[in-house]
Amino acid sequence: MKVARAVFDYLLSGGVQYVFGIPAGSVNGLYNELYDLPQITPVVTKHEGAASYMAAAYAKYSRGLSVCIGCSGPGGTNLVTGVANAMREHLPVLFITGAVPVSTVGLNASQELDAEPIFRPVTKYSVTVRRGADLPVEIAKAVGIALSGVPGPVHVAIPIDVQLTDIDDAAALPEFPVRAPVVPDAARVRQAARELVAHKSGYIFAGQGARECADAVLELAELLDWPIVTTPQAKGLLRDDHPLHAGVFGFAGHEQASALINDGDGQAIVVIGSSLGETATNNWNPNLTKDRYFIQLDFDKDVFHRKYPVDLPILGDIHLSLLFLIDELQELGLTRTAYERPSRESLPDDAAYSSRNVLTKLQHSLPASALYTIDIGEFMSYVIRYMNVHAEGSFDINVHFGAMGSAIGAAIGAKLADPERPVVCLTGDGCFFMHGMEVLTAKEYELPILFVVMNNARLGMVYHGHTLQYKRSHARFEQQPINIAAVAQAMDIPSYRVETMDDLDRDAIAAMVRDLRGPAVLEISLVDNNIPPMGDRVKFLSSFVK
């Protein structure tokens, strides 16, 4: 059989169901095998960059390996941004690129590019395979690396002639790897429990690494009776109607959370699954750990002592570390406090046609269980600050890497991974002009996703950032107004355009999403000149202006 078939047989043994990417000459050997493998669906996108975002989101929400394919040369380079995005989010994605025939390397073949070194800085492993007999072993090695320890993307470049190599049908394929848990040191967990009991007050600081253990985070907080603060990346980890939830700290965060960190008397802080980067810490605010005993739980040893000295780092899978810590606290006599969740009304207090009011009113027209994939733009800060969390795990915000247009692909990947959950993509006109044609991909695969496009006919974050930082904004930061709803209609995709607060009719929107057989586009045509709640972001950037 062809070695390309052996690759897919191996991936099938690990439960791979989708391959994201775009067919082209240098990967035809791979795509040709999919004719005979109906168990794997090729998700053919409009741009390889969008395919990489889909693959990353699919890995996140399926909790398994995802696969993405690009051709040699431009197909591979188009993937790189999404690869870096997956690396920042610790997502196990196998990125495969084609390559020119081995015999033509260095002869200026069409789309020739040595992709291996390009991918190396943004993957856990990058390799070029030049012999067909080596390919199954290298694929297995790459997958093992992607899934082990701190998960992350890997890259394998396969020349077209290598893909077409014949190998022995009886050749044994290696076992598909199962990730071995990183078990925390019991003595350190026991010491952490004693320290938490000794320090009578403190805070739980949760990042995106805690996204699969929200219940344990909540149990720890209720055992200690300590407030929970989340990073912007972790918004949606917990419902915000819990009395211990103090909100988001960092970019676009809440005053209550900032007051606790900056002025609170907490004696200790437990950081769970956060690398404590710029957006999570409000530009590395020293008050986060100042005069506080600092315990950090993570499965990535490289996050310890990176910016803040850690009194007690605990290396291990975060869920395991939390469960062991909870057991130790209970052994020390702590019991969980039961809290009642008060009902909170989140409708805007005024009728102004503003980003804040639109987003909070829109949420009342959509299912409480909806997953929101949030793109990068001015509207993102309003989402972080003002939108409510009605269900755990309901926001996917990648402010960490900040790739515009990534939420459009993420919505598709998330929907394929969890078909029963309603998915809403909140994006902007700038993001839509980068990757908006992927709504066609959603249409072709009959994915009922609502794409909400905040259209202010300008690069909003850039406009406000320059206005605040330099007291001026270049005229070319404005864009020619485009009716995006009409663009969707031209693609035979249901659409609705909002131009006033009265247009945001709950019944009309509910009817629009009730029986979707594919995507729909809701355009919010709105120029909001209010200053977005960006926290200290502009102040930080202004510090570099001489």
- Per-residue pLDDT, 292: 97
In the block, which residue shows the tokens 């990353």? 56
User: Alpha carbon 91 to chain centroid distance?
Assistant: 9
Radius of gyration of the chain (CA): 24
Cβ(477)–Cβ(466) under 8 Å? yes
Cβ(285)–Cβ(252) under 8 Å? no
- Per-residue pLDDT, 265: 94
- Between helix 378-386 and helix 355-363 the angle, nearest 10°, is 50
Span 179-194, average pLDDT: 97
Is 105 within a domain? yes
Span 36-64, average pLDDT: 97
Name the pairing type of β-strands 66-70 and 125-128: unpaired
Instruction: Please state, in angstroms and rounded to a whole number, the distance separating the CA atoms of residues 396 and 233.
Output: 7
- Per-residue pLDDT, 470: 75
Which of residues 111, 132, 163 is at a domain's end?
163
- Model confidence at 166: pLDDT above 70: yes
Percent of the chain with pLDDT over 70: 94
Does one domain contain both 148 and 250? no
Instruction: Please state, in angstroms and rounded to a whole number, the distance separating the CA atoms of residues 341 and 240.
Output: 9
- Per-residue pLDDT, 359: 94
- Per-residue pLDDT, 100: 87
- Model confidence at 544: pLDDT above 70: no
CB atoms within 10 A of CB 198: 10
Does one domain contain both 107 and 202? no
The CATH code of the domain that includes 525 is: 3.40.50.970
Does one domain contain both 199 and 150? no
Is 179 within a domain? no
Does one domain contain both 212 and 282? yes
Predicted confidence band at 51 (pLDDT cuts at 50, 70, 90)? very high
- Model confidence at 416: pLDDT above 60: yes
Span 271-300, average pLDDT: 95
DSSP 301: G
- Per-residue pLDDT, 164: 94
Question: How many H-runs (helices) and E-runs (strands) does the chain carry?
Answer: 20, 18
Q: 159-168, 295-304, 338-347: which has the minimum mean pLDDT?
A: 338-347
Predicted confidence band at 111 (pLDDT cuts at 50, 70, 90)? confident
- Per-residue pLDDT, 171: 64
Distances (CA, A) of 321 to 107, 186, 476: 54, 9, 51
Cβ(171)–Cβ(136) under 8 Å? yes
- Ramachandran bin of 494, using left for φ above 0, alpha for ψ from -120 to 50, beta for the remaining angles: beta
Is 177 within a domain? no
CA atoms within 13 A on the CB side of 223: 23
pLDDT in tens, 303-355: 999 999 999 999 999 999 999 999 999 999 999 998 887 665 555 567 899 99
- Model confidence at 540: pLDDT above 70: no
- What residue numbers bound the domain in which 371 lies? 355-538
- Per-residue pLDDT, 458: 62
pTM: 0.93
Span 466-470, average pLDDT: 72
Instruction: Please state, in angstroms and rounded to a whole number, the distance separating the CA atoms of residues 293 and 473.
Output: 44
* Helix, strand, coil tally for the chain in percent (to 5): 40, 15, 40
Q: Give which of 466, 490, 489, 488 is closest to 476, Cα–Cα.
A: 466
Instruction: Please state, in angstroms and rounded to a whole number, the distance separating the CA atoms of residues 251 and 535.
Output: 6
Is 41 within a domain? yes
Does one domain contain both 154 and 270? no
Instruction: Please state, in angstroms and rounded to a whole number, the distance separating the CA atoms of residues 442 and 518.
Output: 7
- Which amino acid is located at 48 in the chain? E
Span 516-527, average pLDDT: 93
Q: Give which of 404, 355, 410 is closest to 376, Cα–Cα.
A: 404
Distances (CA, A) of 232 to 278, 283, 345: 11, 13, 22
Does one domain contain both 38 and 87? yes
- Which amino acid is located at 192 in the chain? A
Tokens representing residue 374 in the block = 């949030």
Does one domain contain both 285 and 157? no
Beta bridge partners of 41: 18
Does one domain contain both 96 and 49? yes
Tokens representing residue 544 in the block = 């570099």
Beta bridge partners of 371: 423
Does one domain contain both 525 and 386? yes
Cβ(60)–Cβ(418) under 8 Å? no
pLDDT in tens, 473-511: 787 777 888 999 999 999 999 999 999 998 988 888 888
Cβ(495)–Cβ(485) under 8 Å? yes
Instruction: Please state, in angstroms and rounded to a whole number, the distance separating the CA atoms of residues 285 and 259.
Output: 12
- Model confidence at 464: pLDDT above 70: no
Is 350 within a domain? no
- Model confidence at 170: pLDDT above 70: no
Is 306 within a domain? yes
Span 152-165, average pLDDT: 96
For 31-55, letters b (16+ CB in 10 Å) and e give bebbeeeeeeebbebbbbbbbbbbb
Instruction: Please state, in angstroms and rounded to a whole number, the distance separating the CA atoms of residues 275 and 296.
Output: 10
Mean pLDDT across the chain, nearest whole number?
A: 91
Is 68 within a domain? yes
Q: Give which of 272, 267, 276 is closest to 323, Cα–Cα.
A: 272
Distances (CA, A) of 194 to 46, 273, 322, 469: 55, 21, 14, 47
- Which amino acid is located at 131 in the chain? R
Does one domain contain both 95 and 35? yes
**Count of structural domains, the chain:** 3
Does one domain contain both 123 and 41? yes
Beta bridge partners of 96: 69, 156
Is 349 within a domain? no
CB atoms within 10 A of CB 331: 10
Instruction: Please state, in angstroms and rounded to a whole number, the distance separating the CA atoms of residues 359 and 426.
Output: 9
**What is the chain's length?**
546
The CATH code of the domain that includes 193 is: 3.40.50.1220
- Between helix 406-417 and helix 74-88 the angle, nearest 10°, is 70
Which of residues 130, 163, 196 is at a domain's end?
163
Percent of the chain with pLDDT over 90: 77
- Per-residue pLDDT, 510: 81
Does one domain contain both 192 and 159? no
In the block, which residue shows the tokens 């099938």? 12
Span 380-408, average pLDDT: 91
Predicted confidence band at 409 (pLDDT cuts at 50, 70, 90)? very high
SS (H, E, C) 135-157: HHHHHHHHHHHHHCCCCCCEEEE
Instruction: Please state, in angstroms and rounded to a whole number, the distance separating the CA atoms of residues 174 and 368.
Output: 44
Span 179-199, average pLDDT: 97
Q: 388-402, 432-446, 505-519: which has the minimum mean pLDDT?
A: 505-519
Predicted confidence band at 515 (pLDDT cuts at 50, 70, 90)? confident
Phi/psi for 478 (5° steps) reads: -80, 155
